[in-house]
Amino acid sequence: MKHILTTILSLTALTGALAQNPAPARPQERPIALLGGTIHTGTGQVIPNGYITFDKGVIQGVGDATTVRLNTDQYQVIDVAGKHIYPGLISPSSLVGLQEIASVRATVDSREIGVLNPNVRALIAYDTDSEVIPTIRNNGILITQAMPLGGTVSGSSSIMHTDGWNWEDAVLKKDDGLWLNWPGYYARNFDFETFEASIKKNDKRDETLRSLQATFAEAKAYAETTPAPMPVNLRFEAMRGLFNGTQNLYVRADYAKDIIEAVRFAKAAGVPKVVIIGGEEADKAASFLKENNVPVLLSALHRLPNRQDEAVDLPYRMPGILQKAGVLVGLSYGEEWWRTRNLPFLAGTAAGFGVSDREEALKMITANTAKILGIDQQVGTLEKGKQATIVVSKGDILDMRTNVVEQAFIQGRQVNLDDKHKRLYNKFKTKYGQK
C-alpha cells in the first residue's frame, strides 16, 4: 500500500511539474535594438522601416531605421524586417488572474461576501501562476486590470503585468480605482432552463441608492477631515483617492438612463474621475458623456444587441459611434476571462465597422485604455522615456489570421511565449500526425 501511495504521489508531482507555466523573464541585461519592422507607435503614427531601442526597461529611441547607425558591440540587434511592432496591449476590467475554472470554487477569488466592500483589494488575489495569463500574452496582451466583482461597491482594482513571480512583481499600478455596480431601474435575469433573458423592475433600487449616498457622503467627510481620524476606518480610507482625483470610480452601467444617473451621482458626491464600464446603450448618452468628459470601457463587441428592434451590427458599430461623438473609448472582454485573448480582434472588428482607421482602433486597446486607467505616462504608446513593453507580431495584430506574436517584452524583459494552448497543440499534433 505504501509503495502504491508513493507511486501515485510521484506521478502527481511529475504531472504538476510538466504543466507549470514558464518562469518569469529575467531583467534586461544589455541594450536591445529592434530593427527593420513596421512600428505602430499607438499615437496614430506608422513607421514602415523603423527602429526601436531600449535599455533597462525604458525606450531610448524610436524612428526611421535609415537615419540611425547602431553599434552592434553595444546593442543586441534583433532583425524584425517584415514584422510589425506594437505597444503591449492592455486588457481593462478583467478577471484574468482572479478566476481559473468557474465550476471549481477554490480557483475563484473575484468577490467577497457583503454589499459595500470598498476595502477589498483585487491586487492581493492576483494569481501569477494562472494558466490563462500566458494564453493572453501570446496574443499581445501584456497588461491587465484585475477587477473585483460582487455587491454594490465591489472593491478596488489594480493594473498588472502578465509576467511575474507574484503580485508584488507583477503590479504596475496599485488600487487604481473603486468599482460600483450601479443600481439601475431594471435588472436583467437569465433562465438557464429555458435559455431566455428577461428584464424586471429593480425593487431594491431606492434603498440601495440611499445607502450609497450615505456611504459616499461619510467617506467624503472622512477624507476632508484633518488630521486623519483615528482609529482608521478601512472602508472610508479605501475611498479617499476618489475625492482627491488619484483614483477612478468605475461604474458598471449599460442602460442610457442608468449611465446618466450614475455620472450625475458621482459628480454630486464630489468624485472627479468617472469611467463607465459596459455601456451597451452608451450611444444614446454619447453627447452627455462627451459634455462631462466621461470615458467608456465597452464590453465585448462580439454579441447580439439587447433589444429586438436594434440593428444586429450595433455592438460592432458602437466604438465608431462613440469615437465620432468625441468620447474616449477603450475595449474589454469584461468577465469573460478565457476569451480575453481575443481582445485585439475586438479592435479589428471596430476598425471594420465605423472606426476611422486601424490605428485609431489600435488606440482603443493601447493608448486610449492607458489614458483611461491613468498609466499613459508609462505605457500605451512607443515613445522615448516610456516602459519598453512591446509586442512583435508576424502580421497585423488586429487580424486573427496574421496575429502571430513572435516576441514580447515587458519592461524590457523578453518573456517566454509558451502556454497551455501551444503545449496541447504540439502534443496532439504529434499524436494525429503519426501514421
The predicted-structure confidence for 197-249, as pLDDT tens digits, reads as follows 677 788 888 899 999 999 999 999 999 998 888 888 999 999 999 999 999 99
Nearest to 416 by CA among 85, 21, 18, 139: 21
C-alpha dihedral (349, 375, 164, 383), degrees to nearest 10 = 80
* Cα–Cα distance for residue pair 200/203, rounded to 1 Å: 9
Burial class for 17, CB neighbours closer than 10 Å (0-12, 13-18, 19+)? exposed
Q: Which pLDDT band, with edges at 50, 70 and 90, does 11 fall under?
A: very low
Architecture of domain 91-379: Alpha-Beta Barrel (3.20)
Q: Which of 3.40.50.300, 2.30.40.10, 3.40.470.10, 2.40.100.20 would CATH assign to domain 22-86? A: 2.30.40.10
The predicted-structure confidence for 46-80, as pLDDT tens digits, reads as follows 999 999 999 999 999 999 998 888 887 899 999 99
Confidence at residue 18, expressed as pLDDT on a 0 to 100 scale? 46
Phi-psi region of 144 (alpha: psi -120 to 50; beta: other; left: phi over 0): beta
* Cα–Cα distance for residue pair 57/389, rounded to 1 Å: 8
- Please give the helix or strand (H or E) that residue 205 lies within, else none: helix 205-224
* Cα–Cα distance for residue pair 30/40, rounded to 1 Å: 24
What is the DSSP annotation of 206-251?
HHHHHHHHHHHHHHHHHHH-SSPPSS--HHHHHTHHHHHTSSEEEE
The predicted-structure confidence for 144-181, as pLDDT tens digits, reads as follows 999 999 999 999 999 999 999 999 999 999 999 999 99
Contacts of 405 (CB under 8 A, 6+ apart): 137, 138, 139, 140, 391, 392, 393, 394, 397, 417
* Cα–Cα distance for residue pair 152/80, rounded to 1 Å: 48
C-alpha dihedral (418, 423, 425, 426), degrees to nearest 10 = 100
Name the grid cell of 355.
472606426
Pairing relation of β-strands 32-40 and 84-87?
Answer: parallel
The predicted-structure confidence for 122-136, as pLDDT tens digits, reads as follows 999 999 999 999 999
Kindly state the average pLDDT of the residues 344-368. Answer: 96
Name the grid cell of 276.
463607465
Is pLDDT of 434 > 70? no
Dihedral of alpha carbons 408, 123, 172, 346, sign: positive
* Cα–Cα distance for residue pair 5/281, rounded to 1 Å: 58
Contact in structure between 77 and 70 (CB atoms under 8 Å) = yes
E strand map for 80-139: 84-87, 89-94
Q: CA of 434: how far to CAs of 2, 373, 418, in Å?
A: 38, 49, 23
> Could you tell me what percentage of the chain is helix, strand and coil, using 3-state DSSP and rounding each to the nearest 5?
35, 25, 40
Contact in structure between 178 and 239 (CB atoms under 8 Å) = yes
Confidence at residue 300, expressed as pLDDT on a 0 to 100 scale? 86
* Cα–Cα distance for residue pair 419/96, rounded to 1 Å: 15
CB neighbour burial string for 198-222, b if at least 16 within 10 angstroms, e if fewer: eeeeeeebeebeebbeebbeebbeb
The count of C-alpha atoms lying within 13 angstroms of the C-alpha of 412, restricted to the half-sphere facing its C-beta, is: 20
The predicted-structure confidence for 268-312, as pLDDT tens digits, reads as follows 999 999 999 999 999 999 999 999 999 999 998 999 888 888 899
Name the grid cell of 135.
494564453
Is pLDDT of 6 > 60? no
Least confident of 98-102, 177-181, 187-191: 187-191
Contacts of 409 (CB under 8 A, 6+ apart): 28, 32, 54, 88, 388, 389, 390, 415
Burial class for 150, CB neighbours closer than 10 Å (0-12, 13-18, 19+)? middle
The pTM score is 0.91
Confidence at residue 103, expressed as pLDDT on a 0 to 100 scale? 87
Residue ranges of domains in the chain? 22-86, 91-379
Is pLDDT of 15 > 70? no
Is pLDDT of 406 > 80? yes
Contact in structure between 84 and 40 (CB atoms under 8 Å) = yes
